Amino acid sequence: MRPNNKEQYKLLIPSVLLFLLTLMVTFQVRFYGDDFFYARFTSSTFHYFLTRHIEHYKMANGRVIVHLLATIFLGLPLYLWQLINPLLLGGIVYFGSKIALGPTEKKLAAMISTSTIFISAILFLDPTITRQSIYWLTGSFNYVYPIFVLLLYWYYLSIAKLDTIKWYVPLLAFLSAATVEQVSLMTFGLTVLILFEYAIVKKNPINKMQMITLLSAAVGMLTVIACPAVFLRASIEDAPALGFLNLLKYNLKIQGTTFLFSPMMLPYHVFAMSVSLGTILKHKKTPIFQRKWVENALLILCSSSYISWFWQVTVKASTANYQILTIKQAIFFTFIMAGYFISLLYAALLFYKGRSCPKSVFPAISIILCFGSQLMMVISPVYGPRNLVVAIFMLTLYTASLMPALHPINICAVSATFLCFLLNKLYFLPFTTGAILVTYQNHTILGQKIRYKKASLISGYLIIILLSFSVFLPTLQGYAKNAVIYDHNLQLAEEYKKEGISQPLEQNILPLETYGWAMPYHNPYYDPYYRLYLGVDMDTEIIWK
């Protein structure tokens, strides 16, 4: 059953809000890094454009659609991308919230909950991540666009009756899978998991359109991961460790600890841990397993791994050196990771148990895709904070799906309390603890005064938004400050060309390196492309000061 227009508008409001917030950042974003290189694709004829893309597919990577879009927008006025990127981010909030809600959920409180979680997830994004993925043109088409298309496909697959899939669902499956490596595998995995639940768990027969959808996802995936460039690039890329086994051990160590303990992941882990523990406690009287000791063992595993994680990111944070691990540390971190994954999955299965709505299986799928998106990177010679983006949105979808059912215990205020401590925003603590106290007093003292309970719930979400905005605001200010210097550099280049000066061209280094991707003074590879971008002679000497 599709929601009516009035219900759709309720989710459009937070989506537009996120659009406006991120629009303020993107209008301060300029060209960086690969933008200078890919801008050359549109510098000549259409034949040259196609030739460069064919060559790129053979020699660089298989992200055909992604780089077609990026190069097209690099040839258009920058303000078009500055509008499109926030629109895609708003679409992530909109479709992510609708997936978490399910096709039949109409409660305003649930809508506020899911949209707040998605908005805060985007605002919480650390600049170390956003500078590589969100706030530059080429990067956004490699990360924002694929996630948007994945959620778009997921949503239309979720509202479709699987026995009567419409023609556009296989098309969306292909478009989602034919983006980037992580999302292509996730799209195929999503399709397999949904069909597995439909055919194996619910024992329904697979029909023609379902097979076409799966085939479309597989074909789209193969265009990315089986292109000639993948094997060529793997053979020439500089790996951080020599030999496959050494690379595997290195990546498991670095990627695992980055995903689990890095400060940029703290908000998302706090959300996921809070809702999973809340779900496990809520369903304690309706367990999955018949033997009570199994349920108790899982609860002990959950709580002990979460306490261990909290200890590691607080008490041990200042002394931890994740580059060098002892066997004891490796075992301890493996215990935390395994306990975390098992707890999240167990909570998702408890949520699934006894529910017949299509959304009930989505938390379990999102967790499998989240950890799968990181596991697939352990054989990659290249890894960075940008590779956490898809995992972040899967954790966000997991949180948004489970959070509304936990409103009676105000788990959002509990999450906000931990975040105040971990993010060193202690001035919010009196408000979060007050919200928690009012929530639990309502059960024992305040009786029927539901308005107090609602006020405490709203305050929990409000504090989460304020916390996320406190992380987002420096990003906005940083890009604005860099934009002033960047525009001044362009002005200096124009004056240099007009006056025909034979002296070196002076350019100013951007003051805040965190708020912008690579420039020619970071990597000389971009130097000739930057000269072409400025329109100066290739032999012009540029002095950065």
* Range 238-247 average pLDDT: 67
Confidence at 257, pLDDT banded by 50, 70, 90: confident
Between strands 542-544 and 505-507, the pairing is parallel
pLDDT at 235: 58
pLDDT tens per residue across span 362-416 = 999 999 999 999 988 887 777 889 999 999 999 999 999 999 989 888 899 899 9
| This prediction's pTM | 0.93
| pLDDT at residue 154 greater than cutoff 60 | yes
Confidence at 88, pLDDT banded by 50, 70, 90: very high
pLDDT at 180: 93
* Range 348-355 average pLDDT: 84
Distance CA 376, CA 182 (A): 8
pLDDT at 67: 94
pLDDT at 240: 62
| pLDDT at residue 144 greater than cutoff 90 | yes
- The better pLDDT of the pair 291, 212 is held by 212
| pLDDT at residue 351 greater than cutoff 80 | yes
- The better pLDDT of the pair 11, 151 is held by 151
pLDDT tens per residue across span 33-79 = 999 999 999 988 899 999 998 888 888 788 999 999 999 999 999 99
pLDDT at 65: 94
pLDDT at 444: 46
| pLDDT at residue 91 greater than cutoff 90 | yes
Query: What does the mean pLDDT of the chain come to?
Result: 88
Distance CA 418, CA 274 (A): 9
Task: Count other C-beta atoms under 10 Å from residue 418's C-beta.
Answer: 18
pLDDT tens per residue across span 420-432 = 999 999 888 888 8
pLDDT tens per residue across span 481-493 = 999 999 999 999 9
Lowest-pLDDT choice from 115-119, 132-136, 488-492, 494-498: 494-498
Q: What three-state secondary structure class fits 484?
A: helix
**C-alpha distances in angstroms, 513 versus 174, 489, 519?**
37, 16, 9
pLDDT at 102: 81
pLDDT tens per residue across span 283-334 = 877 778 778 888 889 999 999 999 999 999 998 876 777 878 889 989 999 9
Confidence at 113, pLDDT banded by 50, 70, 90: very high
Task: Count other C-beta atoms under 10 Å from residue 181's C-beta.
Answer: 21
Question: Which of 124, 282, 146 lies closest to 220, judged by CA?
Answer: 146
Q: Do residues 525 and 534 touch, judged by C-beta distance below 8 A?
A: no
pLDDT at 104: 63
What element of type H or E holds 204? none
Question: Which of 250, 254, 361, 261 lies closest to 317, judged by CA?
Answer: 261
pLDDT at 229: 72
* Range 156-170 average pLDDT: 81
| pLDDT at residue 111 greater than cutoff 50 | yes
Contacts of 53 by beta carbon, 8 Å cutoff, 6+ apart: 41, 64, 67, 68, 71
| pLDDT at residue 445 greater than cutoff 50 | no
* Range 19-24 average pLDDT: 98
- The better pLDDT of the pair 134, 10 is held by 134
Contacts within 8 Å (CB) and 24+ apart, 298-301: 298/342, 298/343, 298/346, 301/339, 301/342, 301/343
What share of the chain in percent tops pLDDT 70?
91
pLDDT at 448: 46
Contacts of 498 by beta carbon, 8 Å cutoff, 6+ apart: none
Give, in degrees to the nearest 5, the angle at Cα 74 between 69 and 78: 115
Give, in degrees to the nearest 5, the angle at Cα 386 between 381 and 389: 125
Residue located via tokens 């959304």: 359
